[in-house]
Structure 1
Amino acid sequence: MVLPLAYGYLRDDLLGDCDSDSSEDRLRNTARSLGYELGAVFREPAPQNAMLPPAFVDLVQECRRAAAHVVITLRGHMSDMAVCRMVLLTVLDVRAGATVHEVEV
C-alpha cells in the first residue's frame, strides 16, 4: 500500500548539532503514525529575514507540485520569524491546500 506524502520543515537555528538527525527521525515517526510517508525535510537556514523564508517558499511549491497536503514540523519552527505564524499557515493552506502538524519538542 502506498501512503500519502507529507513533507517536513525545520529551522536550523532552533536545532543543535546533534538534534538534526533525531529531529528528522521524530518527523518521520510522526508521519508514519499519522498514516503518511515523509518525503523531503525542508531546512531553513538562519536568519529568516525575508518576507517569506526561502525554504518555506520551496516547501509550498513542492506541496503544490506533489499534491501533498500535510506538513510536519516541530512546535515553534514556524514562529518568531519576520512573518507571523498565521501568515505561514494561511499561505500553506491557500497556495497548497496543506495543513500543519506540530510535534512537541
Structure 2
Amino acid sequence: MKYNDKGLILVILQLIKNNGNIQEIINAEVSFSMVYGYISHIKRNGLVTDIYGDLKLTDLGETKINELNKELKRKHSEEWISPQYEYMIEKWDKFKVYLP
C-alpha cells in the first residue's frame, strides 16, 4: 500500500508537530528526497516555520492537519496515530484461497 500525497503531507505535519523522526516513513516508496520536497512545499505554504533549523508547526499547519483528517476520514485515535503502511497487506478477493 502506498501513501497518497495528502496522506504523506499529513504524516509529515504530524511528525513536525510531535518532533518525530522522518526515518519512520522512509521505505521503498518514500525517499529522503521526496520527503525533503514535501517539507519545502509545506514551508513555502506557511504550514511550518524554520527557526534556526528547527521546524515548528504554525496555526495554519494545525488547521491543515484538521482539514486532512476530515478529508481522509480519520477519526478518534486515527487522527494522531498513523498506520505503518509497510505492514499492511492488500485485500484479497473473497474467492482467493491461501495454501501454506
TM class, shorter-length: under 0.3
Q: TM-score, normalised by structure 2?
A: 0.27
Q: TM-score, normalised by structure 1?
A: 0.26
